[in-house]
């Protein structure tokens, strides 16, 4: 009797292990033909904001991970995706101060930022709710660059308030993330790396 129970529970465990990764329910699969790089580009392009982690330089939480919110946009002037994550870095804010000393940040994007996973009945922590962690350093954009004004205008198109921030304060730097690594967690297969080159070359 107990042997039968052991066999049945063993089978169940084996089935669960095949069907789902680490006990998560397996809702759906990555659409065929959609590469990790293209999926990452979609997550970035649809997002109006990202959660951003930095290494804290604040005396209260020195060297702890710190998180903040950043309005982001990766659009070209015509609204198409470029993959270049741009943002206004407030140099008085947590992230701005931290990066002045330790220029290492990770931007987090999830498909649930617009409620897509919840609508599919998928918990945001499950791999069936795709997410990317994009790490790198912040780089202030060069106002003399010929594409600067187009990039700025594209950002204003999505973030109307940013024009007021720039007009009323000199403490904002229009900046871009220089990507060093991208991790994606999506559907089956565990976390994967996307080379920055593949990410920028993907068409979405």
Binding site for ligand NAG (CB under 6 A): 76, 78, 80
Closer Cβ to ligand NAG, 69 or 76, answer by number: 76
Closer Cβ to ligand NAG, 80 or 201, answer by number: 80
Which residue carries 């789902």 as its tokens? 20
CB of 113 to ligand NAG, least distance (A): 23
Closer Cβ to ligand NAG, 156 or 165, answer by number: 156
Nearest residue relative to ligand NAG (C-beta): 78
Closer Cβ to ligand NAG, 2 or 78, answer by number: 78
**Cβ contact 40:182 at 8 Å:** yes
CB of 77 to ligand NAG, least distance (A): 7
CB of 153 to ligand NAG, least distance (A): 12
CB of 101 to ligand NAG, least distance (A): 35
CB of 72 to ligand NAG, least distance (A): 18
Closer Cβ to ligand NAG, 26 or 77, answer by number: 77
Among candidates 80, 83, 85, 82, which has minimal Cα distance to 70? 85
């Amino acid at each position: 009797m107990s042997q039968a129970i052991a066999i049945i529970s063993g089978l169940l465990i084996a089935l669960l292990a095949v069907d789902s990764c680490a006990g998560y329910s397996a809702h759906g699969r990555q659409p065929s033909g959609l590469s990790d790089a293209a999926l990452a580009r979609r997550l970035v392009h649809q997002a109006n904001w990202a959660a951003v982690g930095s290494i804290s330089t604040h005396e209260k939480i020195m060297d702890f991970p710190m998180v903040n919110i950043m309005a982001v946009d990766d659009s070209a002037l015509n609204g198409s995706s470029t993959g270049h994550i741009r943002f206004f870095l407030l140099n008085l804010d947590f992230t701005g101060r931290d990066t002045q000393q330790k220029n290492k940040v990770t931007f987090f994007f999830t498909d649930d930022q617009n409620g897509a996973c919840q609508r599919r009945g998928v918990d945001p922590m499950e791999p069936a709710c795709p997410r990317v962690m994009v790490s790198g350093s912040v780089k202030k954009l060069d106002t003399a660059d010929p594409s600067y004004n187009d990039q700025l205008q594209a950002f204003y198109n999505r973030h109307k308030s940013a024009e007021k921030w720039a007009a009323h304060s000199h403490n904002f730097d229009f900046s871009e993330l220089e990507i060093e690594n991208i991790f994606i967690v999506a559907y089956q297969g565990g976390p994967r790396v996307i080379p920055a080159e593949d990410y920028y070359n993907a068409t979405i």
